[in-house]
Amino acid sequence: MNGNPLPLESTIYAAIVLLLAAWFHWRWKHRYFLDLAGKLPGPPSYPFFGTTSMFTHSYDETIAKLKENAEQYNYEPVGTWIGPIHYVSVVKPEDIQIVLNNSRALEKGQLYSFLKSLLGEGLLTASVDRWRKHRRIISYAFNVKFLEQLYPVFNEKNKILVENLRKNVDSTQPFDLWDYIISTTFDTICQTAMDYRINEKHNKTEFLDLMTTIADQLVKTVNRPYLYPSVTFSVYKFLSGLGTKLHMINRLPLQLIDEKRIDFRAKMKTSKSNPPEEFPIETKNKFKTFIDTLLEASENDPDFTDANVRDEVITMMFAGSDTNATTECFCLLMLAMHQDIQDEVYDEIYNVVGDSDREMTPEDTTNLVYLEQVIKETLRMYPIISVFTRQLAEDIRVSNYVLPRGASVTISPIVTHHCPHLYPNPGVFNPENFSVENVAKRHKYSYIAFSGGPRGCIGMKYAMISMKLMVSEILRNFSVHTTVKLQDVKIKMNDAFTRKVGGYPITVQPRDRRPSYVRCNTRVA
């Protein structure tokens, strides 16, 4: 041996030196950012690894850690690192309002970049410039007049759901609501948004299962910083089979788009060859659907591509069905647990429609005030998206700190919704939290189930109408029951949304259509 280092040792030394040099160069280049980030309170952080306490094994643990940090640091912004990404958790409603309404905080964060593999650049995941353009095009399909046209579809799908649930009447064996509800919300969104009927020729179950599997797999990558680079993520997609699943899930949306494009072009051809006065009144009065709006944009705007149409369609199919289904399942489970609240909801329904079987109208849903409180309380306790992020393009000053440009701000509805100074006894299901008087006492951004600001949920009105109609239709026909206790409810993050561990087990009984006070008096007599 001549005493010279071995080639392997030399390589290791060189790698260490290069790594340290890169690290110090990065710190020097980002010294302003690091200075501001260092002024934020938060748990200890370590080079390369970040804040190790934030690496948890389960969704429950992550939420518990976010709540713990909020309490420990007196609900001030808390800084943490996951690998090279700096996250600032914001909890106070005043701070949340500043972030969500700031034009320099409209970009979505790392969580959404992974979802782009599934959803492309639809409204949920799009960059700011694309989001502005798409929202301007799509907002037409969510105006109140258009939504009122959808009531016959909602009512039709809900009656089918009731008949499907009827097979479980009087059974003492609990069944899981999920499959019934998700099937209905998916059929409904396809027909209301795309004027497309899902039937036996479509493999709906395969699509929904793939959607859940893919989104769940993508969400789990957030806590794996080594997958952030596009190269390593591409390798992961190949080795894990995720790439194959992403290819398979496109079949149904692409089939839907092809069929609707043929219909759309036929309608356009007809409209050009016939004067408007020759169209039937029902055709002239019919609003454009969501898919018509997209196809019209793709025909008239070369920058609105077929890929853009696909991204918005699959985003609508995903977000429009899963979010509603989850809330409806939680809501019905809460009503099954709280029979007194269920009675009050039914009494309100009875006061609106009596014991008739007539279809619900827009005026009816407006009058279901207490039911809306129940749905909002459900979303307070179990918000669909428990954590969302915004990427800061500039420094933002909140109440007591400056949040640095380049940070990812995390906002957790489930943490803010469980702050005891905002909601007394936050672990108790109490629809009175959303009475007019109690809402007036709180900051507007104390409730962020639908996010807020310019990038708030575009489908909020659609969601509330459809949920009111489904829950009321079920309660008009059945009473719901469960042996599950509130303290036993555990939640998980599945396919990017909050879900209950173990499903939503209930039993149903035929509804005694008399109001509760009459039933009570009858029992006393």
Which domains, ranges and CATH numbers included, belong to the chain? 40-275+287-522 (1.10.630.10)
pLDDT tens-place string over residues 206-239: 888 888 888 888 877 776 777 777 888 888 888 8
User: pTM for the full model?
Assistant: 0.89
pLDDT the model gives residue 352: 95
Using a 10 angstrom Cβ sphere, with 0-12 exposed, 13-18 middle and 19 or more buried, the burial of residue 492 is middle
The identity of residue 18, as a single letter, is L
Residue with tokens 């985003």: 315
- pLDDT reading at 87 higher than 80: yes
Q: What is the mean pLDDT of residues 124-153?
A: 89
Query: CA 108, CA 105: separation in Å to the nearest integer?
Result: 8
Listed in sequence order, the DSSP H helices in 5-122 are 7-29, 31-38, 59-72, 93-100, 110-119
CB contact at 8 A, 466 and 473: no
- The C-alpha atoms of residue 106 and residue 112 are separated, in whole angstroms, by 12
List phi, psi (to 5°) of 501.
-65, 130
> In the predicted model, what is the mean pLDDT of residues 136-147?
85
- The pLDDT tens digits for 89-123 are 999 999 999 999 999 999 987 777 778 888 889 99
Residue 457 in marked binding region: yes
pLDDT at 4: 58
What are 339-398's pLDDT values in tens digits?
999 999 999 999 999 988 899 999 999 999 999 999 999 999 999 988 888 999 999 999
Return d(Cα 339, Cα 332) in angstroms, integer.
11
- Cα separation, 515 vs 346, in Å, equals 7
Model confidence at 274, pLDDT cuts 50, 70, 90, reads low
pLDDT computed for residue 56 by the predictor: 62
